[in-house]
Every structure is written in structure tokens, then in C-alpha cells.
Structure 1
Amino acid sequence: MTVMQQYTQRIVNTPMARGLDVIGDRWTLLILRDAFVGRCRFEDFRRYIGISKATLSRRLEALISEDVMVKRAYNKAGNRYEYKLTAKGQGMFASSLLAWQWESEWGTASDGSSPAPLPQQLLHRDCGHDLAPLVVCQYCQQGFSIEDVRLPAGDNMVDQLGDMQSVGQQRRVRASSGGGEQDLSLVHISDLIGDRWTLLLLIAAFFGAKRYDSFAKTLNIASNILTARLNLLVDVEVFERSDYQLNPPRSEYLLTTKGRSLYPIVMSLRQWVIDWLPEEEQGAELIHQPCGQPLKVAVHCGHCGEKPNIKSISFVSPQ
């Protein structure tokens, strides 16, 4: 069996991969966004996401089957339902806070022409200040960057990407036109990390991949898909294309500041998967070099240092 065949087999059989497949879809991320702000009924999801009935039904069924949401009747006749987050679903809240922060700073409309509506203000009621979520290592309580994290000795990027790979076969879908009530907050970030190939390209770049051949070999991705995703990431200024050879022309794809800013979100998503998998199935570790411990991500309030939760956050619409 070749190295690439072993890698492909690892993708299909990795529990970490199946965990990320639960949330590795743009519609699912927008459903979770709505659930975090208190929306819980089918028609509310449709109105604010701009999603078809059939697609919404499939995504809700998938979230229920994975114990991320639960379906409950809210009328006496038992024919009207609401969809609530389970403890497992609420565990995604930290990643959602980071996504809100990222969208506030970096979000643009899908064509890049104008800013998308800013997310609502996040108020941390425990300390009374606007929430600025801070990502830290749980062991040393220090922040971290791409340069601070490495694979353990003997592991390689291919194996680690196998842990992160999504095995679902959902196609990338753009938002429907929707109506005037459609909520466009977090649409940009959902487009980026809600596509499995785009997410994998980001992860590969985080671990040092920067050339076309390196991405292709590491991810075993079709050339047309790879070209399209690289062009997309360049267009939205997550990657910067730089020529390193003129004849024949060859380019490198380097993370921009905007691209690097996605790193804490991706590591938080990884942490969610780890938190909800049995310990023996968690796969390869990452090491936080400053303290030498396995990377375990926590999200704190940047003002008071406490861990925010759904009940401690108020979503305040901008004036």
C-alpha cells in the first residue's frame, strides 16, 4: 500500500474526521449561529438563513442524529416543534464567539464589494463589558500563534490532516437569494470554513504547505477543485499568490494576515471534536511549544478572564 493509499484510508476511518463532518458545512454553521442567538423554530431558520425546506430538514435531521440538537414539541397538539442545542451543541459556542469576532473584523460581502452587516454586539454580563474572546492554551493560560504549535516528533502533516479531514459528500452550496429578513452575519466565515476543501487547504497552509504540488499531494484533491479553491482563497485575500519561478510559471500561496487570523477558529473547532470523542479515539496531538503540553484550546473573556457561556452572553443589535 502506498503512502497516499494509507492516507486515504486514514481519512475514511478517522473518528476526528467524522466529528468535523458534523459541522463542516455552511448551512449547518448558520443553523448553529441562529440557535446560539435563540432561534429555534423551523420557519425562523428558513427566514433568517435563506435555506430551502428540504435542505433545512436534512441538516436538522443530521444534527439531531449526532446529538447536537434535540427536537421537541412546543404545543399541546404535539405537531409544532422547536430545535434546541444539546450540551454537545452548546460546546460549539466558543468557536461561534471566535467566528463572530473574526466576521466583525474581516467579513465582507461574498463578491468582496462591500461590507456585510456586522454581527450583533456581544455583551459579557458577568463582567459588564463587551466580549473580546481570547484564545489560550488551557495548561499555561497563554495565547498562542501558528509558530507556537507543532506536531509531536515522528508525526507528519499528512497524518494530522487525516485527523481533520471531513468525509462527508455534501456539495458546496451558495446562499439562496432569501428575503429581506435574511440574516447575513457570519455568512463570510461560514463560506470559508463550511467547505471541506477550503478548510483542508487552510489547515495544510497552517502546517507549512504553500505550493500547488504540495497541496495536491497532501490532500489528494482533484486539480480542478484545487485550482478553484486556491483562486477563491486568493480572491478573498486569505492567500496571497507569489511567483517563485517564471519559466514555466510557478506560484506559492502564502497565508495573509487575514488567513492567519482564522487559525484560532480552526483550532477551536478541532478542540470541540476532541472534547466530544472518547479519549482513545482522538488521534494525533499538537504540542504547544512554550509550555510543552498537548494543545488544549480554551476561550476566555479578554476583560475578566472567565470562560463565557451561552447564558452569560447578551446579543445586542447595533444601533
Structure 2
Amino acid sequence: MPIIEPPSMLKALDLELTHDALATSTLSHGLKVFGDRWTVQVMLSVFLGIRRFDELQSHSGIPRPTLSNRLRALVQIGVLKPRLYQERPPRHEYHLTRKGTGLYDATLMVWLWEQRWGSRAVALPQKLHHKTCQHDFSPELTCQACGDKVGMNDLSFSLSPNARLRHEPLEGMSPPRMSTRESAEMSLGLRVDRWSLLVLTAVVLGCHYFDQISKVLGIGPNVLSRRLSGMVEVGLLRCATDAHDARRRLYRLTPSSRDLFGYIVCLSTWAGESHLHEPSSIRPRHLACQHSFMPRVACDHCHQTLFPWDVSFTSSKAKNT
């Protein structure tokens, strides 16, 4: 196991403040809706133009009762709207609402992550084409204020717990049981779930030690130990020995987990603006332009904002494992 110097910023880390900010964050509340694998799969499919129940079930492999429940929940929160296309028996298509279309940035970040790190069993387009500039492209995360491409290291974070968002305990979140096949795959709907994304966010905010992560997320040691081990196993975290205390372990982000930052920040922004109508308790600032950071996903060729109606793709079948 490698030995690394502990981050100096941890000396000033306020664990109580970090706990309260995470518990009242728009990310935490947004992940209550979009933090399980099936919901992510449904939204990916709908953005690909798959709208009918049987087609959604066939494309995603979601059990029919589970798919029915997820569609009902997405309709209830106003992300999807059913439209009758057959009367006898009644059959519906599920179309994106304006609120649902607002998830496009987050969905593009899912596509980008899946292309780089995801499971080979996930059926997604291999290429995206921007109609505006007539080029194939990869989506890139940019700053809405200045237009520059942005990564996690280009931002600073301040914390201000939002008293208007319910302070929910996170102890009750249990990691889902995975089959052997699921554990061997890594896709945004399998190993990367609400639980994992909150752990990664805690690390982004400076919580690198086991006891710090446990404190800010309110997670018991046995549950956290299993989750951290699983995240290390699939490459979402790197575990190293503290150079100053060999008894302690540090948890660091990896390239694959850093690439999840775009999804995290886009989902958090959507949840605050469109779902909760509240500011987040975790507030990023772009160091280069010194503006509060608002994400904008753009074409890496022409650098224009991307919209669903301006992007075409070629459908692909799931790749063989």
C-alpha cells in the first residue's frame, strides 16, 4: 500500500459544518430521486428516444414492476409526462417535460463517464453529433459565467447549510446488495449510486480519513467499511497509508471518480433550480473568473451550449463483455 502525506487542509476542516451542508444539500435531495441505477437507466433511455413501456423494458432490462414504479415516480415529480398512443388496451409513451429536459447536462455527463469508465453491457451511442457545427463531439463541462472549460481543481467550495431544506439523517441509507455480475461491472447505475456519490462528495470537500467520512455522512463503521472497500475495488477510490501515522488510511479520488464530478455538479444544480427551488448548501466558485460556478455543458468543437434537439446519434447495442 502506498504511503502519502496527509493533506494540510484537514487541520481546518469543520466536520459539523460539513455534515450539515451535506445533509441539506441539493445533491443529497436530488439523489433521492436520481440515485438508483434503474432511474438513471430510464432517463438515459428516454433521452435516446425510447418512450414506450415495452421498449424501455427491453432496452434497459429493468424488471417490469420496477419499471412501472420508476415511471410513476418520474411522472409524479414532473420529469416525464405520459401520452396515450393506444386506447384498447390503453398504452402510453413517456415524454420529457421542460423540467425533465433540464436534466440533459447531467445525462451528457453520464454518457461521457460511461464512455470512459462504464460497463461494456450498457447500450449507449458510441458517437454524438452536434447539428449546429456539424461535428462529432464530446461534451465538456464549462463555466456559465466565463465559458472556460472547468474541472474539479478549478473550483473552491464554501459551505452554508440551507435551513429550508429538511436536515435528513443519512444513517438509514443502506448500500444495495449486488449480484456477482453487477459487482464486476462499473456503470453509473450499478456501483455508482447515491451512496457512492455522497462518499465521493465528502472526499471532494476534504474528508479523506475513515472517521471523517463516517462523521460527516453519519454512517456506521461496518457499513462504511464495506462501501469503501467496494469503491476501492472498482477503482473509485484509492487507499493509502498516512505518512505520519501508519495506523491510519487516507482515501483519495481516482481518475474515474474525478470524472464523476461533472455529473455531481450538474445534478446538484438541476435539483436546486428545477426540483427544489432552493440554493445548495455546497457552493462552488470558479477560481479563474471568481464567479459563483454554474455548470454549462458545451460541445468541445464549437464550444456552444448543447440542447437535446441539436444532438443526433447512432443507436448502438450493448457491447459484449
TM range (shorter): 0.7 to 0.9
| 2:248 equivalent among 247, 250, 253 | 250
Per-residue CA shift, 1:50-83, capped at 9, x if unaligned?
1212211111111111101111211244711111
Task: Give the corresponding residue for 2:157.
Answer: 151
Residues 166 and 196 of structure 1 are in contact (CA less than 8 Å); yes or no, is this contact kept in structure 2? no
Residue 187 of structure 1 deviates from its aligned partner by 6.5
SS of corresponding position for 2:190: helix
Task: Give the corresponding residue for 2:261.
Answer: 263
Task: Give the corresponding residue for 1:190.
Answer: 189
Q: Relative to structure 1, is the Cα distance of residues 174 and 82 closer, same or farther in structure 2, using a 3 angstrom cutoff?
A: farther
Instruction: Note if 1:63 corresponds to 2:61.
Output: no
SS of corresponding position for 1:123: strand
Residues 271 and 277 of structure 2 are in contact (CA less than 8 Å); yes or no, is this contact kept in structure 1? no
| 1:298 equivalent among 296, 299, 312 | 296
Residues 125 and 314 of structure 1 are in contact (CA less than 8 Å); yes or no, is this contact kept in structure 2? yes
* Percent identity for Structure 1 against Structure 2: 30
* C-alpha separation in 1, matches of 2:22 and 2:127: 41
Task: Give the corresponding residue for 1:138.
Answer: 144
Q: Relative to structure 1, is the Cα distance of residues 130 and 62 closer, same or farther in structure 2, using a 3 angstrom cutoff?
A: same
Task: Give the corresponding residue for 2:134.
Answer: 128
Task: Give the corresponding residue for 1:25.
Answer: 36
Residues 26 and 269 of structure 2 are in contact (CA less than 8 Å); yes or no, is this contact kept in structure 1? no
Task: Give the corresponding residue for 1:45.
Answer: 56
Instruction: Note if 1:172 corresponds to 2:176.
Output: yes
SS of corresponding position for 1:188: coil
* C-alpha separation in 1, matches of 2:217 and 2:17: 11
Task: Give the corresponding residue for 1:273.
Answer: 271
* C-alpha separation in 2, matches of 1:197 and 1:234: 14
Residues 240 and 251 of structure 2 are in contact (CA less than 8 Å); yes or no, is this contact kept in structure 1? yes
The residue type paired with residue 73 of structure 1 is L
Residue 176 of structure 1 deviates from its aligned partner by 11
Per-residue CA shift, 1:104-144, capped at 9, x if unaligned?
122245xxxxx866643211122121121111110111122
Provide the alpha-carbon RMSD of the alignment.
Answer: 3.5
* C-alpha separation in 1, matches of 2:50 and 2:108: 17
Select between 76-85 and 205-214 the one with higher mean Cα deviation.
76-85
Q: 1:203-214 alignment to 2 at 5 Å?
A: 203-214=201-212
* C-alpha separation in 1, matches of 2:145 and 2:169: 28
Per-residue CA shift, 1:274-293, capped at 9, x if unaligned?
22156555444221121111
* C-alpha separation in 1, matches of 2:283 and 2:17: 22
Task: Give the corresponding residue for 1:101.
Answer: 112
Q: Relative to structure 1, is the Cα distance of residues 190 and 314 closer, same or farther in structure 2, using a 3 angstrom cutoff?
A: same
Q: Relative to structure 1, is the Cα distance of residues 174 and 29 closer, same or farther in structure 2, using a 3 angstrom cutoff?
A: farther
Task: Give the corresponding residue for 2:85.
Answer: 74
The residue type paired with residue 198 of structure 2 is L
Q: Relative to structure 1, is the Cα distance of residues 149 and 265 closer, same or farther in structure 2, using a 3 angstrom cutoff?
A: same
The residue type paired with residue 91 of structure 2 is R
Q: What TM-score, normalized to structure 1? A: 0.81
* C-alpha separation in 2, matches of 1:176 and 1:72: 38
Residues 31 and 194 of structure 2 are in contact (CA less than 8 Å); yes or no, is this contact kept in structure 1? no
Residues 4 and 220 of structure 1 are in contact (CA less than 8 Å); yes or no, is this contact kept in structure 2? no
SS of corresponding position for 1:72: strand
Residue 146 of structure 1 deviates from its aligned partner by 2.1
Q: Structure 1 unaligned runs (5+)?
A: 110-114, 178-185
Corresponding pairs, count:
299
Residue 303 of structure 1 deviates from its aligned partner by 0.6
Per-residue CA shift, 1:27-65, capped at 9, x if unaligned?
100000100111111111211211212211111111111
Residues 99 and 274 of structure 2 are in contact (CA less than 8 Å); yes or no, is this contact kept in structure 1? yes
Task: Give the corresponding residue for 2:221.
Answer: 223
* C-alpha separation in 2, matches of 1:6 and 1:314: 41
Task: Give the corresponding residue for 1:180.
Answer: none
* C-alpha separation in 2, matches of 1:140 and 1:9: 27
Higher relative contact order (CA 8 A, sep 6+): 2
Select between 68-77 and 132-141 the one with higher mean Cα deviation.
68-77
